[in-house]
Amino acid sequence: MAEADSSSEELYDEGNWVFYKYRVDWNDVVPVPQDDGPYPIVAIAYSEKFRDIYDYFRAILKSCEKSERALQLTKDALDLNPANYTVWQYRREILKHLNKDLIPELQYVKEMIEENPKNYQVWHHRRVIVEWLQDPSYELNLTETILSQDAKNYHAWQHRQWVIRTFKLFNNELEYVEQLLDDDIRNNSAWNQRYFVINNTTGFTKEVIDRELEFTLNKIKKVTNNESAWNYLRGVLLHHTGGISQDPAVKKMCEELYLSGNRSPFLLAFLVDMCEEKIERADGDMNDSLQHAVQLCDVLANEYDTIRKEYWNYVARSLSQRMNSSEDEATGSMKTE
């Protein structure tokens, strides 16, 4: 390939790519080849372009060069491997050293996120730049864009929660969550976000608990096979009311669903847990609760949740053993007396 006369900035069109080793403005740099040791077990077949760029990146890393051309080199390196932590870290060092305007960097990393939405390093770089700027004004829109393409993108949710908590941007977040649940009632990430918002704002006061139970019960009635809503219901009850079998509205809905012939595995599993809780609390007829729980475990194991058959058989055996142990202790106590 002929030596290039044009400046580095003009050489990034893929059709006119010029290797760094042929660039006049990089003649002063001695590339550093990757050292895989004398006997590499599985040598990776890097492309010539990849090898060229990373040989020069290792060179500037070794010499600690922090310049405009080094910054551009990190971009070329990240285009080939956006998950390389060392390149991102060094890029941040260069940005700081050159005191660069960080708004263009936000645009750059936005484009990188759109191309690599599940890349941890890209999102981490975004967070650091936002921290430096102390400006979260672009972040909610960015995460909404990514979540509109994949509503369960873990990295987008993690970034959104960090931004909201760090900069106190909780306003309108519940409305956003409700919009997501209207679009997909099974969106577990949206249910998790709902809990996150409430836990970090009003907290689960009596009024909020009543509202959340009503909201969740309505969602469950709409789609009874929605595991996410059942998990949310269970979480609110266990952590904020002291148990899943104590709320009258919840008990009534579960009974009505069951009596109407609904056999959602999540309903049946919830009923098993309600029975188990009643047994632990010695609430009502314990034998009746046990028999009902064992019956539910049987139909779950053999009809409605067969993939977890062994689990439900184990639950039934455990409940029976616990009841037998309790009866034996009670009998022994009576004989002693």
As annotated, the active-site residues are 118
Q: Read out DSSP for 264-331?
A: -HHHHHHHHHHHHHHHHHT-S-HHHHHHHHHHHHHHIIIII-GGGHHHHHHHHHHHHHHHHHHHHHHH
Query: Cα 177–181–182 angle (5° rounding)?
Result: 115
Neighbours of 250 (CB within 10 A): 22
Sign of CA dihedral 318, 324, 330, 332: negative
What span, in angstroms and rounded, lies between the C-alpha atoms of 294 and 290?
Answer: 6
Terminus-to-terminus CA distance in the chain, angstroms? Answer: 100
What span, in angstroms and rounded, lies between the C-alpha atoms of 169 and 173?
Answer: 8
3-state DSSP call for residue 30? Answer: coil
Query: Which own/partner contact pairs does 87-90 have at CB distance under 8 Å and 24+ positions apart?
Result: 87/57, 88/121, 88/122, 88/124, 88/125, 90/57, 90/61
Q: What is the 3-state secondary structure (H, E, C) of 173-231?
A: HHHHHHHHHHHCCCCHHHHHHHHHHHHCCCCCCHHHHHHHHHHHHHHHHHCCCCHHHHH
* Alpha-carbon torsion angle 21, 22, 28, 32, nearest 10: 0
Report whether 281 contacts 243 (CB < 8 A). Answer: yes
